[in-house]
Structure 1
Amino acid sequence: MFFTYLRRELRRRRKAALVVASGLALGIALVIVVNSVSAGMKQAQGEVLESLYGLGTDMTVTKAQEEPEEGGTAARPRFKFDASDGGEQSNDMLMVQGFETLSTSTVATVARQDGVADAVGGLSLTSISVSGDFKPGEMKPAQPGTGKPGSGGSGEVRGGGADFGVNSFTVFGTDVTEPELGPLTTSTLTKGRTFKASESDAKVAVLDSAYAKKEDLSTGGHVEVKGKKFEVVGIATADKGQPAANVYIPLKQAQTLADAKDKITTVYVKAADSQAISAVKDAIQKNVPDTTVTTSADLAKTVSGSLDTAAGLASTVGKWLSYAVLAAAFLVAGLLTSSAVSRRVREFGTLKALGWKSGRVTRQVVGEALVNGLIGGALGIAAGLAGAYAVTAVSPTLTAELGGGLMGGGGPGGGLRVAGPRGGGPVQDTAERTLDIALSAPVSLATIALAAALAIGGGLIAGGFGGWRASRLRPADALRRVE
């Protein structure tokens, strides 16, 4: 009887049922789209951070910046040439990025901290070559009595000058015995091979693909670093964004060429448990003096641009808007259901006169509202999925601007990082980087479950309004009213 009466009433009041279902569908669809876009934002931010940290890593650690002494100046490269000799001259320098280093013993210190699964050191360098020539000027004699050239007075120097070119690239000394950590984890090997564990002091190199193409280098060839030739054994392509370095060589070779024996700029660390990042951060800051630990959440704060703006809109304005529309839909559905009950007082009065209990009338009203809610939920899920698919199909491009400060502190490719004062990491001195990220709107099963719950909840709320109104009807009063 319940389902027969329910089916008949829904068919008889199709328009009213469709209005209630459509209102709920709008709110549910908006919730699905906003949740899916928010998930896409988080996914995009994760891709940006992954391009900085690498796979399977969690945070970065840098040595706390020290206030420069009053009147002091930061270390800068100096090139000296003797102009009196003329001719072609060159100066080749391999500098530590940040000009500060840590002892290799720092790696062991960090590795002993609670919650640290693995740690590895690296040395970040910049190679700068300046070459060119001086052309001495020619003395032109002055003319006698005129003071002009050729006059017999003082002459003047004409011509001459200098023409120098600068070539620079980044070099990273990597611990070849720990291939799972370090900058190379953010790149995929596309040609040749990576380092072997036995090549800890070999003259071999892996190049970034963009740099190799620019310099027309390939596997089997040679790249020169501070006058030493290294055999190119592999070429790697950065997975996202820019690479950590142009040239990767074994750590011992980098230390030797940079005159930085037993020195490193970076310690890459992997946490044992990604849920215990805060504890690992506290342990390193406490037991490794003068360090600043930067988690992925800290680094995410440096990501700006349209990605950050859109994420803010999706997480604040979008969610509040969807909640407001959903609340309005629930309220309208309840009011419409209550209004429908008020127009059916004669019908319900007759049913009560025939022996229907108030509870049975209430259940009938709630059942009708619940079916309306389920219909609205189905329509809302369909509309929400269509909206999410449209966002993914269009794939609007968002930009992520990465601040140089914290990015330099973390550097691409390896979990926690300990670097020397003023950073000293692979990209410490680089300007802000901009990445283009294609936005998608993935819809998870949890979002679908939420939509279904909202549909049922909306139906129950509307049924509660109508059921409360119907339960207050008295048969005698109801029969006196004309519909």
Structure 2
Amino acid sequence: MFFTYLRRELRRRRKAALVVASGLALGIALVIIVSSVSTGMTKAQDKVLESLYGLGTDMTVTKAAAAPGSTTERPRFEFDAKDDDSTQSTDRVMVQGFQTLAATTVDEVGEQNGVADAVGGLSLTVMKVDGQFKRGEFKQDEGAQDSRSGPGGGGGQPQGEVRGGGASFDVNSFTVYGTDVTQQDLGPLTSSKITAGRTFKTAETDAKVAVVDASYAKEKKLAVDKTVTISGTAYKVIGVSTADSGDAAANVYVPLKQAQTLADSKDKVTTVYVKAADSQQIDTVKSAIQKNISGTTVTTSADLADTVSGSLSTASDLASSVGKWLSIAVLIAAFLVAGLLTSSAVSRRVREFGTLKALGWKSGRVTRQVVGEALVNGLMGGVLGIAVGLGGAYVVTAISPTLTAQLGSSGGGGGMGGGGPMGGGPGRQAASKTLDIALTAPVSLSIILIAVGLAVAGGLIAGAFGGWRASRLRPADALRRVE
């Protein structure tokens, strides 16, 4: 009897049911779209941060660079004085962006509570100057030559000037990162894929081998088995890597000991990459490291996320704040409208419900009938809202709008800003860089379940309005409506 009456009433009031369902569907669809876009923003931001950290890294430990105006030595380039016009070349290897930490800091960090693993790295900038000095030629003035050859002319210094000559030099810079080849599952190289050759072997702790970034290899025409020269030392290229984020953390990777030798920084590192045992305890681990290891700066992914600007940051703010509150406002409005429409429908059915009560229906049965109709309307709205929401998310993914993410300075001292794409070295950017990220809108099962829950909640709220109104009707009200 209940379902028969329910089916007949919904069929008889199709337009009213469609209006209620459409209102709920609008709010549910908006929630799905905003939630999926927000998830896409989070994934895009994670993709940006992977170019700084590497997969599996939760935080980095560094020591701020010396303040401007300190006794930091400026790079000096010296050239031999030669009589010929041969090409001159010299380069300078410098620690990039940070003050160095003792290599023992890696072990100290690894011993802190909540730290699962820690590995050190050394970030370097190589500035290379190539060119040649060209001697000028002395050109004697013709007038001065004639005056010396005339009457009374005598010896003396030739008159003229030096023409031509000078110097022409190219200044080039690139970044080198010393990686611990015995622990390659942590650090910035883990966010890159080896697309040619191989990665380091654990036995190559002090070998003259290198992995180069794909874009740098293309620019310098490097390939596997060729050599790249760093400060006069030739390194055999064993692999070419491509960063997942489309941007590299360094141009060249070499074993950590070799990097320390190049920079004359024995047993020194610039960055300690840390993986927490529990991702929920990252803030606790950060506080412990800062407390127990003085003079260090601990940077988490959340800290770096605050430095991301550009359209990605703007869209993320809109999705997380404006979009969230807009979804809530639309949902509240949809629930209220559904409740008011259901209550209004009950008012128009006074004769019907009054007659049913006169025939013996109790108030509880009438209320259940109204709530049942409202619940079905809510489920219909949920199905329609899920369909529209999935369609909207699909459109966003299909269009894949491009967002820009600009990474500015994250504090703790400036970097050299030289040639490498990172500017401030792996794990932290001192000079800004811009990445283009394609936005997607993935829809998870949890979002679908939330949508179903909202549909049921909307139906129950609307049913509560109408059920309360129906329970107050009396059989006498039906008699007043008899014409």
* CA 238–407 in structure 1, closer or farther in 2 if over 3 Å, else same: farther
Q: Which residue of 1 aligns with 2:419?
A: none
**So what's the TM-score if we normalise by structure 1?**
0.90
CA contact (8 A) 1:75 1:99 kept: no
Check conservation: 1:363, 1:467, Cα contact below 8 A.
yes
**Structure-2 separation of matches of 1:405 and 1:353:** 75
C-alpha spacing 1:447/1:81, structure 2 compared with 1 (3 Å) = same
Q: Report the CA distance shift for 1:236/1:399 in structure 2 as closer, same or farther (over 3 A).
A: same
Q: Which residue of 2 aligns with 1:5?
A: 5
Q: How far apart are the structure 2 equivalents of 1:150 and 1:253? A: 67
Partner of 1:26: 26
Query: Which residue matches 1:167?
Result: 172
Deviations 1:26-57 (A, max 9, x none): 11111111111111111111111122211111
Shift of 1:431: 2.9
Q: 1:145 to 1:37 in 2, by over 3 A?
A: closer
CA distance, structure 1, for counterparts of residue 222 and residue 83 of structure 2: 34
Equivalent position of 2:396 in the other structure: 391
Asked if structure 2 preserves the Cα contact closer than 8 Å seen for 1:141 and 1:153, the reply is yes
* Distance apart, 1:312 and its partner CA: 0.9
- How far residue 306 of structure 1 moved from its aligned partner, in angstroms, is 0.8
Counterpart residue type for residue 388 of structure 1: A
> What's the TM-score, normalizing by structure 2?
0.90
> Who is 1:42 aligned against?
42
* 1:280-320 Cα shifts (integer Å, max 9, x gaps): 10111111111121111111001111111111111111121
Could you tell me how far apart the structure 2 residues matched to 1:440 and 1:129 are? Answer: 41
Percentage of matched positions with identical amino acids: 72
Cα distance, 1:122–1:408 mapped onto 2, change above 3 Å: farther
Q: What one-letter code is carried by the residue in structure 1 that aligns with 2:43?
A: Q
Q: SS at the partner of 1:162?
A: strand
Tell me how far apart the structure 2 counterparts of residues 358 and 136 of structure 1 sit (CA, whole Å): 110
**Cα 1:98–1:445 shift into 2, 3 Å:** closer
Contiguous gaps of at least 5 residues in structure 2: 151-156, 416-422
**1:229-240 mapped onto 2 (5 Å cutoff):** 229-240=234-245
Per-residue Cα deviation, 1:316-359 (whole angstroms, up to 9, x for no partner) = 11121121111111111111111111111111111111111111
In the aligned structure 1, how far is the partner of 2:148 from the partner of 2:457? 100
The structural deviation recorded for 1:144 is 7.4
Where 1:385 maps in the other structure, the secondary structure is: helix
Determine the structure 2 residue equivalent to 1:452. 452
Among 204, 211, 233, which residue is 2:209 paired with? 204
Q: What CA distance in whole angstroms lies between the structure 2 residues aligned with 1:369 and 1:283? A: 55
Aligned match of 1:376: 381
The 3 A distance-change label for structure 1 pair 133 and 208 is same
Q: Which amino acid aligns with 2:56?
A: G
Q: For residues 32-431 of structure 1, what are the structure 2 equivalents within 5 Å?
A: 32-68=32-68, 72=70, 74-81=72-79, 85=83, 87-88=85-86, 89-98=88-97, 100-141=99-140, 155-405=160-410, 425-426=425-426, 431=431
In 2, Cα distance between the equivalents of 1:407 and 1:33?
38
Counterpart contact for 2:32–2:386, Cα < 8 Å: yes
Distance apart, 1:92 and its partner CA = 2.2
C-alpha contact (below 8 Å) 1:32/1:385 kept by paired residues: yes
Q: Against the structure 1 CA distance between its residues 350 and 9, is the aligned structure 2 distance closer, same or farther, given a 3 Å change threshold? A: same
SS at match of 1:434: strand
Listed as ranges, the gaps of 5+ residues in structure 1 are 411-422
Q: CA deviation at 1:90?
A: 2.2
For residues 242 and 396 of structure 2, the distance between their equivalents in structure 1, rounded to whole angstroms, comes to: 29
Q: Distance in 2 between matches of 1:79 and 1:427?
A: 29
Distance 1:66 1:358 in 2: 80
Distance 2:119 2:28 in 1: 49
Q: CA RMSD in A?
A: 2.7
Deviation at 1:73, TM superposition (A): 6.1
- Distance in 1 (CA, whole Å) between partners of 2:134 and 2:96 is 33
